[in-house]
Chain A
Amino acid sequence: MFELLGVPPQALFGQLLLGLINGAFYALLSLGLAVIFGLMNVINFTHGAQYMMGAFVAWMLLTYLGIPYWGALVLVPIIVGITGVIIERLFISRLYHLDHLYGLLLTFGLALMIEGLFRREYGSSGLPYANPLPGGTNLGFMFLPWYRAWVVAISLIVCFGTWFMIEKTQLGSYLRAATERPDLVQAFGINVPRMITLTYGFGVGLAALAGVLAAPIYSVNPTMGANLIIVVFAVVVIGGMGSIMGSILTGFGLGVIEGLTKVFYPEASNTVIFIIMAIVLMIRPQGLFGTPR
């Protein structure tokens, strides 16, 4: 059997697929961030905490109310999305006229507080959440758990669904117009503040959905989002701040690159994304898919 750089091709296929699966999480999370930034110009640092809340609310629904995973998949994004709406109304909406930096600081502070509250209540070692789709199939080059296949499928559907909604529908065109000229859109009789609030709720709902998807495979603990959010920000920066398609493609692409790094030089696997970010920023400051602002 031939080998590629010392790695048998079968193992390589396996790692590529795994990279794609991890990329699905990056894509879902960076999509939410891109939607919020692209349409509201808010750098939402609470995103990691909202992802964590998604996983926790799924656990709570199961533990306290007996609602299984599939119910949680629908309910959790709505519940956490509503908390997002409240946060937007109470806090973020007061900062639109200020510099980006204020929104960033506010959401960062909120993230620390939310994580602190969950840590206080549930500790740091995490909570068990059973896998709703145990088992898997042998693809020849690797064992593919059903659950991971499901994660990729739903992530692709949600990502491209969102892209379609924002770029190709009338609702999306209102949203984009409201970002460019809110006064004009308002003059046409559209309630712009409410639309922006709902956009934030939707972005938060996407984070929560990623959280539910993560609950069965990652440890459900208060820091799960903090570990991921920095990587996801790098993904958004590489893809181009606010570019929907950019964040989706970059999310999957970087997942694959990170997966390959885990084979060839595992020690660098959590820095490789930042190296790419530095290179991209040097060559194309607006990101791979972004337009200069």
Chain B
Amino acid sequence: MRSGIRALMAMAALCFGAGISQAQYSDGTIKIGVMNDQSGLYADLTGQGSVWAARKAIADFCKSTTCHNKIEVVFADHQNKPDVGSNVVRQWYDVDKVDVVVDVPTSSVALAVNTITKEKNKVFLVSGAATSDLTGKACSPNTIHWTYDTWALANGTGNAIVKTGGDSWFFLTADYAFGHALERDTAAVVEKTGGKVVGKVRHPFPGQDFSSFLLQAQASKAKIIGLANAGGDTINSIKQASEFGIVKGGQNLAGLLVFITDVHALGLPIAQGLIFTEAWYWDANDANRAFAKEFAPANKGNMPTMIHAGVYSSVLHYLKAVHAMKSDADGAAVVAKMKSMPTDDKLFGKGEIRADGRHIHPMYLFEVKSPAESKGPWDYYKTRATIPANEAFRPLADGGCPLAK
């Protein structure tokens, strides 16, 4: 009986305590909404792994400091459709009181969420989507683009390939916002470094059979076939290019956006030698390996992608800012706070967020190992070059973002 009363009193104290801290947070809860592809071609490289990463960020943050007592994670599947994504986010902001939306792969969906978030003055932390327009002409005081973008991919991979003699390009482009942005940014890099673009073909998204497009690429006689697509589309393109003897015929493939899960799905015999740019690799250092070691058992044995790492890192920084302000109510103010604080975490190291919302950190040029070089499952990359933070992303002045002026 006595212990029962004590428990009751403790509970009352807790509620009271919670009541005090809740006064500063909108409806007393910091609610994080992870929205991504939970069922389609991007589900392994975003999906539940991102939900895990967001929860992990909360756990780590609360371990290191006294955190708000109600931080929740909700998640939803946008099926890579802008209309579905918009509906979910409106519902989240208006009814479910979500404070921040994170991840959101598929650029067309991310652009829609970007607009709604600004309109509702919430916070949008992009890890999954690629289009550099999110910090360019579509930039917003409520959005931070964390992990990578099409400009950074184009800059890393395009530069490296043109410099080693790959100076004529043919693009195989996914026919939506992301593919268009990646093709545009890569073509700009190729032309700037003295190469030329000899042709392009836009394939429906998602696609299945790419042989027809590959044959057009083959006929163009371009030295490099740039794959401006992602996930299952890239896997199928590479698989079928190998089947049609395109690489044996002297042309090379440039995977402009390749994730470790794609390499795993292709297998090293087909993927070996591919060169591409990424922001993060699980086996790069001890901190990354430790993160991956916890991630894999919870995610069907898959290693985390750079998107998962970006979700972790961006949620952590968000929590720091919100706790420093003791409020999550004003989205633009939270983002301004995040921009004013230097970023620092175990996965991305030290960095900063620019006025246009771009998170700045180094990028890496990786090459896929040959089966002989690989020491075991998921040992896939070797680092060809590190692109320093100040060169990795589009210069602030070039993006056309009104916030940068």
The reply to whether chain A is a binding partner of chain B is yes
Known A-B contacts A142-B215, A224-B208; the reply to A127 vs B265 at CB < 8 A is: yes
Please give me the residue from chain A that is nearest to B37 by CB atom: A124
Query: How many angstroms from the CA of A18 to the CA of B47 in the assembled complex?
Result: 34
Query: How many angstroms from the CA of A1 to the CA of B47 in the assembled complex?
Result: 51
Q: Is B306 an interface residue (CB 8 A)?
A: no
Known A-B contacts A14-B215, A219-B265; the reply to A145 vs B206 at CB < 8 A is: no
Q: Is B111 an interface residue (CB 8 A)?
A: no
CB distance from B196 to the nearest CB of A (A): 20
Residues facing B in A260-291 (CB within 8 A) are 262-263, 266-267, 269-271
Please count how many residues in chain A sit with their CB below 8 Å of the partner chain's CB atoms. 45
Query: How many angstroms from the CA of A272 to the CA of B120 in the assembled complex?
Result: 40
Q: Which residues of A contact B211 (CB under 8 A)?
A: 18, 21-22, 148
Q: Which residues of B contact A263 (CB under 8 A)?
A: 212, 216
Q: Is B235 an interface residue (CB 8 A)?
A: yes
* B204 and A135 contacting across the interface, CB-CB below 8 Å: no
Query: How many angstroms from the CA of A136 to the CA of B239 in the assembled complex?
Result: 15
Counting residue pairs across A and B whose Cβ atoms lie within 8 Å, the total is 117
Q: Is B249 an interface residue (CB 8 A)?
A: yes
* A18 and B204 contacting across the interface, CB-CB below 8 Å: no
Residues facing B in A105-147 (CB within 8 A) are 116, 119, 121-128, 130-131, 134-136, 142-143, 145, 147
* A262 and B212 contacting across the interface, CB-CB below 8 Å: yes
- Scoring B residues 298 to 332 as 1 if CB is less than 8 Å from chain A, else 0, what string do you get? 00101000000000000000000000000000000
Q: Is B45 an interface residue (CB 8 A)?
A: yes
Please give me the residue from chain A that is nearest to B212 by CB atom: A262
* B239 and A145 contacting across the interface, CB-CB below 8 Å: no
- Scoring B residues 342 to 377 as 1 if CB is less than 8 Å from chain A, else 0, what string do you get? 000000000000000000000000000000000000
Q: Which residues of A contact B243 (CB under 8 A)?
A: 131, 134, 136, 145, 147-148, 216-217
* B239 and A219 contacting across the interface, CB-CB below 8 Å: yes
* A123 and B300 contacting across the interface, CB-CB below 8 Å: yes
CB distance from B156 to the nearest CB of A (A): 22
* B265 and A266 contacting across the interface, CB-CB below 8 Å: no
* A259 and B212 contacting across the interface, CB-CB below 8 Å: yes
Q: Is A67 an interface residue (CB 8 A)?
A: no
Q: Name the residue in A22, A216, A219 with the highest tally of chain B Cβ atoms < 10 Å from its Cβ.
A: A219
Query: How many angstroms from the CA of A130 to the CA of B244 in the assembled complex?
Result: 14
Query: How many angstroms from the CA of A46 to the CA of B232 in the assembled complex?
Result: 22
Q: Is A223 an interface residue (CB 8 A)?
A: yes
Q: Which residues of A contact B58 (CB under 8 A)?
A: none
* A119 and B43 contacting across the interface, CB-CB below 8 Å: yes
- Scoring A residues 1 to 44 as 1 if CB is less than 8 Å from chain B, else 0, what string do you get? 00000001001001100110110000000000000000000000
* B215 and A124 contacting across the interface, CB-CB below 8 Å: no
* B215 and A219 contacting across the interface, CB-CB below 8 Å: no
Q: Which of A11, A134, A267 contacts B215 (CB 8 A)?
A: A11
Query: How many angstroms from the CA of A227 to the CA of B232 in the assembled complex?
Result: 12
Q: Is B40 an interface residue (CB 8 A)?
A: yes
Q: Is A218 an interface residue (CB 8 A)?
A: yes
Known A-B contacts A131-B243, A217-B240, A218-B239; the reply to A126 vs B232 at CB < 8 A is: yes
Query: How many angstroms from the CA of A228 to the CA of B203 in the assembled complex?
Result: 16
* A130 and B212 contacting across the interface, CB-CB below 8 Å: no
Q: Is A199 an interface residue (CB 8 A)?
A: no
* A218 and B208 contacting across the interface, CB-CB below 8 Å: yes
Which of B13-21, B266-274, B382-390 faces chain A?
B266-274
- Scoring A residues 208 to 243 as 1 if CB is less than 8 Å from chain B, else 0, what string do you get? 000000001111010110011000000000000000
* A218 and B261 contacting across the interface, CB-CB below 8 Å: no
* B264 and A125 contacting across the interface, CB-CB below 8 Å: yes
Q: Which residues of A contact B204 (CB under 8 A)?
A: 266-267, 269-271
Q: Which of B269, B270, B302 contacts A123 (CB 8 A)?
A: B302
CB distance from B239 to the nearest CB of A (A): 7
Q: Which residues of A contact B269 (CB under 8 A)?
A: 130
* A124 and B270 contacting across the interface, CB-CB below 8 Å: no
Q: Is B41 an interface residue (CB 8 A)?
A: yes
Known A-B contacts A125-B232, A143-B249, A223-B41; the reply to A266 vs B215 at CB < 8 A is: no
Residues facing A in B31-66 (CB within 8 A) are 37, 39-45, 47
* B206 and A143 contacting across the interface, CB-CB below 8 Å: no
CB distance from A23 to the nearest CB of B (A): 11
Query: How many angstroms from the CA of A126 to the CA of B207 in the assembled complex?
Result: 14
Query: How many angstroms from the CA of A143 to the CA of B44 in the assembled complex?
Result: 33
Q: Which of B175, B240, B264, B302 contacts A267 (CB 8 A)?
A: B175
Q: Which residues of A contact B262 (CB under 8 A)?
A: 125
Q: Which of A11, A15, A21, A124 contacts B44 (CB 8 A)?
A: A124
Please give me the residue from chain A that is nearest to B47 by CB atom: A124
Q: Which residues of B contact A271 (CB under 8 A)?
A: 204
Q: Which of A21, A124, A266 contacts B201 (CB 8 A)?
A: A266
Q: Which residues of A contact B219 (CB under 8 A)?
A: 8, 11, 14
Q: Which residues of A contact B236 (CB under 8 A)?
A: 218-219
* A227 and B216 contacting across the interface, CB-CB below 8 Å: no
Known A-B contacts A130-B269, A145-B245, A259-B212; the reply to A125 vs B261 at CB < 8 A is: yes
- 5 tightest A-B CB contacts, nearest first: A128-B267, A124-B43, A125-B44, A262-B212, A126-B265
Which positions in A face B, CB cutoff 8 Å? Answer: 8, 11, 14-15, 18-19, 21-22, 116, 119, 121-128, 130-131, 134-136, 142-143, 145, 147-148, 216-219, 221, 223-224, 227-228, 259, 262-263, 266-267, 269-271
27 contacts between A and B (CB under 8 A): A8-B219, A21-B211, A119-B39, A121-B300, A122-B300, A124-B39, A124-B44, A125-B231, A126-B232, A126-B235, A130-B267, A131-B243, A135-B245, A143-B218, A145-B243, A148-B243, A218-B209, A218-B239, A219-B235, A221-B232, A221-B265, A223-B41, A224-B208, A228-B208, A262-B212, A267-B202, A271-B204
Q: Given contacts A134-B243, A262-B212, list 12 more A-B pairs with CB under 8 A.
A: A11-B215, A124-B39, A124-B43, A125-B41, A128-B265, A128-B267, A135-B245, A147-B243, A218-B208, A219-B232, A219-B236, A266-B213
